[in-house]
Amino acid sequence: MVHVVTPPPTDVSRDDIIWLAGPRLIGILFNWSLLGVLTTQIYIYYLNFPKDLRRNKMIVYTVYLLDWAQTCSATYDAFHWFVYGWGSIDALYDLYSTFLNVPIFSSIIASIVQIYFGWRLWRLTQSKIMVTVIVALALLQLGGGIAVGTILFQDSSEVARSDGLVTSVGLRLAGSAFADTVIAISMTYFLIRSKSQVVGHMNNVVTRLIRLTIETGTVTAIAAIVDLIFFLKATNGLHQVSGVILCKLYSNSLLVLFNNRMITTTKSQTHFLSDTSGSGSGSGNAITSSEGESSRELETFKAATVPRLSTLDLDIGLSTSSKGEWRSRSHVESIPLDDFNRQ
């Protein structure tokens, strides 16, 4: 049971109530909206990658279940604020299960996504230092999130601002933003360096990956920074808008990574870049194309980048039947292009 120690202020004004209840309501609405977007992405993933690696499926569906648990917990709080405790100042200043859905669930989801992106980056660069930094930052923000949850469980009050709470929130959000920034900058640098060595369709693919890397990495980093600034500087509930939706931004970034392996070039041509191991015991990519030109471009891309990725060579098949059904006809060496999808 949550223990509320710090009592609410006795001179609460109408503006105080508005600035406390309003951001919470907006945050819950955005949370459910982003859950809907995530559900759509999960459905797209389920339809297009039924033979994806078991490891990938476990990550995707685990994150999805955690997001559902986070949303249900946040909705439980909303019912206490706006339904069961309607009109009660004490209920409005009580955080109920916020100790669980904001710092703990969000930090767990963020750490899963960041470590996965770090692993992808390691497969591309083989840099132990880089992946160590990313994993360390992910675990740092996870530890900060657990510490915040523990402190809020002991003093579940909106006005609580102990030194331990401020430090823990700083570690969680600053560590998360720093990890996102390192991932985005590192992956963007690698993709830009590779882009100058490829031509044709693969050049467009790398350009798209660069854009998505910058966009999604920037969104999560900015959301974490804004959440930290509002918590430290503002005397209202604005920090709860970004705080309650931060995990949804990470989850959607992860699903963008997986679903972006399906690259549509025209209305009649679709190229799939997908792991193919239904049992999860093997590792490979299925890259399907309807033109020999794409195969040549893929070889060009491989030749330009494979010197640093020689351990990642995989077998793929390139061909289609006359009816548009994907069939494997030959085997060539290539790198897992889906690894470039840091979203």
Range of the domain at 148: 14-260
Residue 199 confidence (pLDDT): 58
Looking at the 3D structure of the chain, how many domains does it have?
A: 2
Q: Are residues 127 and 161 in the same domain?
A: yes
Q: Are residues 158 and 184 in the same domain?
A: yes
Looking at every residue in the chain, the average pLDDT score rounds to: 77
Dihedral class, residue 87 (left if φ above 0, else alpha if ψ from -120 to 50, else beta):
left
Residue 191 confidence (pLDDT): 77
In a domain, 73, yes or no: yes
Cβ atoms of 278 and 343 within 8 Å: the answer is no
Q: Are residues 192 and 52 in the same domain?
A: yes
Q: Are residues 119 and 146 in the same domain?
A: yes
Using the predicted structure, report yes or no on whether residue 275 has a pLDDT greater than 60: no
- Choosing from 232, 260, 288, the residue where a domain stops is 260
Residue 262 confidence (pLDDT): 72
Using the predicted structure, report yes or no on whether residue 327 has a pLDDT greater than 70: no
Q: Are residues 215 and 294 in the same domain?
A: no
pTM: 0.77
Residue 67 confidence (pLDDT): 97
The angle subtended at Cα 24 by Cα 20 and Cα 25, nearest 5°, is 115
Q: Which of 98, 107, 231 is nearest to 170 (CA)?
A: 231
| CATH number of the domain where residue 171 is located | 1.20.1070
Using the predicted structure, report yes or no on whether residue 173 has a pLDDT greater than 70: yes
The total of other beta-carbon atoms located within 10 Å of residue 207's CB is 14
In sequence order, the 6+-apart residues with CB closer than 8 A to the CB of 336 are 123, 273, 275, 285, 312, 314
113/109 Cα distance (integer angstroms): 6
Using the predicted structure, report yes or no on whether residue 336 has a pLDDT greater than 70: no
pLDDT digits (tens, 9 = 90+) for 87-130: 889 899 999 999 999 999 999 999 999 999 998 888 877 888 88
102/164 Cα distance (integer angstroms): 17
108/66 Cα distance (integer angstroms): 9
Q: Are residues 126 and 84 in the same domain?
A: yes
342/27 Cα distance (integer angstroms): 26
- Choosing from 206, 238, 260, the residue where a domain stops is 260
